[in-house]
Amino acid sequence: MNIHEYQAKEIFRSFGLPVPGGKVATSVEEAVALAGEQGLPVMVKSQVLTGGRGKAGGVKFCATMEDVKENAEKILGLDIKGHIVRKVLVTPAVDIASEYYIGMLIDRNSKRVLLMASAEGGVEIEQVAKDTPELIFKQTIDPRYGLLDHEALGMGMRLCPDDIRKARQLAAAMQKLYKAFVESDASLAEINPFIFTPDGTGHAIDAKVNLDDNAMFRHPGYEELRDLDEENPAERRAREAKLSFVKLEGNVGCLVNGAGLAMATMDLVKYYGGQPANFLDIGGSSNPEKVVNALEIILSDPEVKAILFNIFGGITRCDDVAKGIIAATGSMDINVPIVVRLTGTNEEEGRALLAETDLVPAATMDEAVQKAIELAG
């Protein structure tokens, strides 16, 4: 789950990271009032779950109350890469003498948390990684010991070789960030930039955190951090129904058991010149309720002109799967053609059951995909 900057900053603050104050406003009046409370100058920062906010004009420095009003007016309602700004963070502006990047993520290769830091702060770190990878320093963290003092200070000194005071502040920030990462079950945590003011005080002035969806059971409070406005309605419904779903732009609705097979099915639709409308993993069971939920979610998209079931039965018997699909589709009013591909145990019995209905049976994945594209027109 991705969370907003202001939410990530709350988490960072609770772990003792030096984060400037700030509050969220949903209207121009509120933004002006918050600026008045905090004292000028302030930054007005759009809160949307995407990168490139600054470039899109979603982050502004405001020296006067007039600036705050004007910028809040411009930013609220702004469309940044398809995300509409509904909230702005109003936070004290600080003088920046130098900027650093500090980030942590799960490194699949070492199977550990990886700390990355760079003196090239305040810019897109992906770009730095691509153009000048030697400017990013890395430290894998042994989960048995955490980020040790000498490791953190070593990283701090690589960033600030001539200033031990700053190196120590960076090291402390890294250790606090690691604690925040582990205790909040993050999959990504970034401070970009961590800055020093001209008097040498460090501040984390931007924050990004992704939380591990699999660990939400340990953090019931984090459910409140979910921004429902940022979620596509169909994706929200799918999440509530515990279905794995991603909305795409095409017209062939896909219901597949298994994530890998679901991706391969989308790819095959594209291969044959069609466009998949979604990714949907219906999982192992074919109980009619789950199928109904999945169909309703897919059919809520008016672009969908045909539906494709691709089910590899495996241990589940295909005649049972067919019965589930027939019961589900029979209970609904569906106006688009449905192609069903069933393979596995008892597949012939399954297809025989389908043949007695309006559902279009197919023997292979390729046949099913081609039929679905043709029917979608």
Partner 1 sequence: MAIFVDENTRVVVQGITGRDGGFHAREMMAYGTQVVAGVTPGRGGQVFDDKVPVYDTVAEAVREHDANTSVIFVPPFGAAGAICEAADAGCKLIVCITEGVPTLDMVKVMPYIQERGARLIGPNCPGLLAPGIAKLGILPTSIVKEGPVGLVSRSGTLTYEVVYQLTAAGLGQTTCLGIGGDPVIGTTFMDAIMAFNEDPRTEAFVMIGEIGGDAEEKAAAYIKEHVKKPVVSFIAGQTAPPGKRMGHAGAIVSGGSGTAAEKKKALEAAGIPVADRPMDIVPRLQEIWKR
> Catalytic residue numbers?
101, 190
Q: Which residue's entry shows tokens 């995407």?
A: 50
For partner 1, the binding residues in 264-293 under the rule CB under 8 A are 264, 266-271, 276, 279, 281
Does position 131 bind partner 1 by CB under 8 A? no
Give 111 or 150: the residue with its C-beta nearer to partner 1: 111
DSSP-H helix ranges across 51-124: 65-75
CB of 292: closest distance to partner 1 in angstroms? 20
CB of 239: closest distance to partner 1 in angstroms? 11
- Token output for 322: 């067919």
End-to-end CA separation in angstroms for the chain: 36
Q: Which of 217, 234, 236 lies closest to 226 in space, CA to CA?
A: 236
Give 71 or 192: the residue with its C-beta nearer to partner 1: 192
CB of 9: closest distance to partner 1 in angstroms? 21
Q: What share of the chain is helix, strand, coil (3-state, %, to 5)?
A: 40, 25, 35
For partner 1, the binding residues in 339-358 under the rule CB under 8 A are 343-345
Give every CB contact of residue 134 below 8 A, 6+ residues apart in sequence: none
Does position 144 bind partner 1 by CB under 8 A? yes
Does position 223 bind partner 1 by CB under 8 A? no
Neighbours of 72 (CB within 10 A): 25
DSSP reduced 3-state for 90: strand
Does position 315 bind partner 1 by CB under 8 A? yes
Does position 122 bind partner 1 by CB under 8 A? no
Query: What is the per-residue binding string for partner 1 in 12-31, x denoting contact by CB under 8 A?
Result: --------------------
Which of 22, 258, 337, 350 contacts partner 1 by CB under 8 A? 258
CB of 62: closest distance to partner 1 in angstroms? 30
Q: Which residue's entry shows tokens 């502006």?
A: 93
Give 29 or 183: the residue with its C-beta nearer to partner 1: 183
Neighbours of 93 (CB within 10 A): 17
- Token output for 190: 């970034």
Q: What angle do CA 75, 76, 77 make, to 5 degrees?
A: 105
- Token output for 333: 């009013």
Q: Is 307 left (phi over 0), alpha (psi -120 to 50) or beta?
A: beta
Does position 133 bind partner 1 by CB under 8 A? no
For partner 1, the binding residues in 225-254 under the rule CB under 8 A are 244, 246, 248
Q: How far, in Å, CA of 286 to CA of 201, rounded?
A: 59
Options 58-66, 92-100, 107-115, 162-170: segment touching partner 1 (CB under 8 A): 107-115
Does position 108 bind partner 1 by CB under 8 A? yes
Give 201 or 210: the residue with its C-beta nearer to partner 1: 210
Q: How far, in Å, CA of 62 to CA of 70, rounded?
A: 9
Provide the residue count of the chain: 377
CB of 377: closest distance to partner 1 in angstroms? 20
Which of 119, 122, 312, 349 contacts partner 1 by CB under 8 A? 312
Q: How far, in Å, CA of 31 to CA of 36, rounded?
A: 9
Q: Which residue's entry shows tokens 């009013």?
A: 333
Give 140 or 357: the residue with its C-beta nearer to partner 1: 140
Q: Which residue's entry shows tokens 């929200």?
A: 236
For partner 1, the binding residues in 201-220 under the rule CB under 8 A are 212-215, 217-218
CB of 35: closest distance to partner 1 in angstroms? 32
Positions in the binding site for partner 1 (CB under 8 A):
106, 108-109, 111-113, 126, 129, 142-144, 182, 185, 187, 212-215, 217-218, 244, 246, 248, 256-264, 266-271, 276, 279, 281, 312-315, 343-345, 364-366
